[in-house]
Structure 1
């Protein structure tokens, strides 16, 4: 009687392929995991740096615009060529302490009263002229060079002449807004006194 060899043994695992992890496969999976983790970390870090840079830029811009860079440096006067009205408002301005120079070619001016608002346009030319109605000019520059860049120690005498003067009568109040580009506006609020002279101090 013959007997079968051990190679003919039967059992539940006969003929099934090997399914265990080899060392090489484990190493490949580990390397892939490390690469994915490194890429993810790089993306997160880059996004964080960009966001931080944008946040700092926004903060610096907010600080820059928090206060006006120009200030009134003397008395504000009204000039009257028409009985009963202020025709022009003379506002002396200079830089606030520590402010960067401002190019006045980029400055915009608004005249705001209780009955109307208007944008006062730049006079052409801008310097050393008395503007017409609806325009403003740099009527005089003190301690200044020939450009339109106001710097520390310099003073500009602005002549603002609104087109509409209904808020330039006795006992009326108005606000002149002087806004350099990218900076906060300087608001100059004044009230016309009961008596108007050719040159009238506005408080």
Structure 2
């Protein structure tokens, strides 16, 4: 005689198996949707980063030639002069949207452009385009390929001997060009920076 006692055994029916299978498939589908959505989001962000990088690289400035300062002999350098051009393969840069900043160990200032951006002279706290060199003879404030603009930056404080300083030229949406130099030990009327 078989004694079943108080054992309560339930059989795993086909209906229960179907419900469990449907639950697994539903969870897997939701998980797959989330993973694919995250993949698309990541791909889109990667594309944005690449396009931003290309845009900044294509609107890069480069220093063309020497950097020199004009000052009072035995005193301070008042103006820093340099020339800029568009980097190889770059796109034109609107100089009216450029921000020029001067800094040293004790001083930081954003220089203001002179009215019209083009002038043979500057006042303290300003910068100007002092010369445009181009093949087409156009006198606009857009720096195109093959053009060279000479810039004069005039900080409000003079640059003393042996002073390390930085001038940053930041075009709108492009990479910042930084000029790091040190004033010479003896200040002359015209000083070459190295």
TM-score by length of 1: 0.71
Q: Please provide the CA RMSD for this pair.
A: 3.2
User: Corresponding residue for 1:15?
Assistant: none
In structure 2, stretches of 5+ residues that fail to align are 1-28
User: Corresponding residue for 1:163?
Assistant: 156
108-117 or 42-51, which moves further after superposition? 42-51
51-60 or 129-138, which moves further after superposition? 51-60
Deviation at 1:145, TM superposition (A): 1.7
66-75 or 98-107, which moves further after superposition? 66-75
Distance across 1 between alignment mates of 2:181 and 2:59: 18
Residues 170, 196 of structure 1: 8 Å contact kept: no
Distance across 1 between alignment mates of 2:96 and 2:43: 34
Please show how residues 12-91 of structure 1 align to structure 2 within 5 Å.
49=40, 51-65=42-56, 69-81=60-72, 84-91=75-82
Distance across 1 between alignment mates of 2:79 and 2:88: 28
Task: Say which SS state the counterpart of residue 61 (structure 1) adopts.
Answer: helix
Residues 68, 186 of structure 1: 8 Å contact kept: no
Q: In the alignment, is residue 195 of structure 1 matched against residue 187 of structure 2?
A: yes
Distance across 2 between alignment mates of 1:127 and 1:57: 36
Residues 92, 157 of structure 1: 8 Å contact kept: yes
Distance across 2 between alignment mates of 1:159 and 1:73: 14
Runs of 4+ aligned residues of structure 1 deviating over 6 Å after TM superposition are: 40-47
User: Corresponding residue for 2:142?
Assistant: 149
Q: 1:177 aligns with which of 158, 164, 168?
A: 168
Cα displacement string for residues 174-196 of structure 1 (whole angstroms, at most 9, x for unaligned residues): 11000001112111111111232
In structure 1, stretches of 5+ residues that fail to align are 1-37
Aligned residues: 175
Task: Say which SS state the counterpart of residue 195 (structure 1) adopts.
Answer: coil
